[in-house]
């Protein structure tokens, strides 16, 4: 149950697009389309922004999109806004009632 691997930080300017990768194994990401992404602002609870690799919950901006290839999932944020500055976490089903999170990526909007 090792954590999924994410870059520690990414940055971009307002209006630009960024992509955050999340690398797992054949035991989690590679074997299931059960990848979700969460946004967390400092001092707040995480918020679900992507589920089942590409799906957005009601109310989440279409500037957020997800994808997966092999053992790696990705989150893309287009048209960066200052309010997007937060930590982002991926999560995958790990089999037998388990989940595993990535280490988190801090997004800075310059």
Contact set with other proteins (CB under 8 A): 1, 3, 32-34, 36, 38, 40, 45-48, 51-52, 55, 57, 87, 89, 91, 93, 96-104
Residue spans of beta strands (DSSP E) within 4-104: 9-12, 18-23, 35-40, 47-50, 64-69, 72-77, 86-95, 98-101
Q: What's the min distance (Å) between Cβ of 22 and other proteins?
A: 12
Minimum CB separation from other proteins for residue 52, in Å? 4
- Collapsed DSSP state (helix, strand, coil) of residue 87: strand
Q: Which is nearer to other proteins, 15 or 99 (CB)?
A: 99
Strands 86-95 and 72-77 come out as unpaired
Q: Between residues 16 and 99, which has the closer beta carbon with respect to other proteins?
A: 99
């Amino acid at each position: 149950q090792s954590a999924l691997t994410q870059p520690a930080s990414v940055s971009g300017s307002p209006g630009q697009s960024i992509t955050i990768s999340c690398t797992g194994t054949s035991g989690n990401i590679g074997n299931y389309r059960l990848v979700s992404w969460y946004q967390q602002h400092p001092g707040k609870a995480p918020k679900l922004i992507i589920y089942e690799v590409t799906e957005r919950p009601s109310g989440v901006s279409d500037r957020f999109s997800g994808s997966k290839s092999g053992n790696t999932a990705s989150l893309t944020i287009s048209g960066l806004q200052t309010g997007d500055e937060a930590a982002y976490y991926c999560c995958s089903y790990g089999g037998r009632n388990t989940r595993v999170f990535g280490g988190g990526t801090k997004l800075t909007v310059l």
